[in-house]
Amino acid sequence: MDSKFLHATMILVLVTDPLGNIPLFITALERVSPQRRTRVILREVAVAFGILLLAMVGGRGALGVLGIGDASLKAAGGVILLLISINMIFPGAGARMGEGPSEGEPLIVPIAVPLIAGPSAIATAMLVAADDPSRMPAWIGALGITMALTLASLFLSSTFKRLLGVQLLSAIERLMGLVLTAVSIDMIMSGAAAFFGAAL
């Protein structure tokens, strides 16, 4: 397994944040009957996968129409990831815990969008594909692994919360945020270097 594939998978996993979203998953699924829970989880993950796949496959063409180059996309993606990582390390009070039960059965919102396929995940999927469009099957594979981990997180969310507790889940999320900070800074610097190198 090559380093670029591992790097893409790691970034997608960090951005979708399956562990950090566990309390929110639990809240969103609170009023879903046990008989329908499996169907709802599969549906929401499938919708999120479809949205991210569309962004990954068609995002580059949309950016080309807008005249946005790879260097600008990489730098912008780095900024977005930096903001996400800061929010992971310093979450707003109660913002990550999803307090209060959701109304009725979730349909696309809030699980598929924005918990899994939020703006940051969509931008990251586009960024990953733009790195080397010729390797699209590999990037789709990385997205598939990410969705499989998210699916497992949804199915095991109650178990994870019971075994690990909110405090440990929060600590893990902050650690993931630190890793994502380093990745985002590297992306910003790489994008800036490519942009200024092309300008000279």
Tens digits of residue pLDDT in 80-114? 878 878 887 887 644 443 444 445 678 888 899 88
Q: How far apart are CA 81 and CA 67, in angstroms?
A: 22
Kindly report the average pLDDT of the chain as a whole number.
83
- The number of distinct structural domains making up the chain is 1
Range of the domain at 145: 3-199
Rounded average pLDDT over 23-47: 89
Q: Are 121 and 15 in contact (CB under 8 A)?
A: yes
Whether the CA torsion 127, 131, 137, 138 is positive or negative: it is: negative
User: 29 or 84, which is more confident?
Assistant: 29
Report field, pTM of the whole predicted structure over 0.75? yes
Tokens describing residue 87: 């929010």
Where do runs of H (alpha helix) occur along the chain?
Answer: 3-16, 22-28, 34-66, 70-89, 119-131, 136-155, 157-199
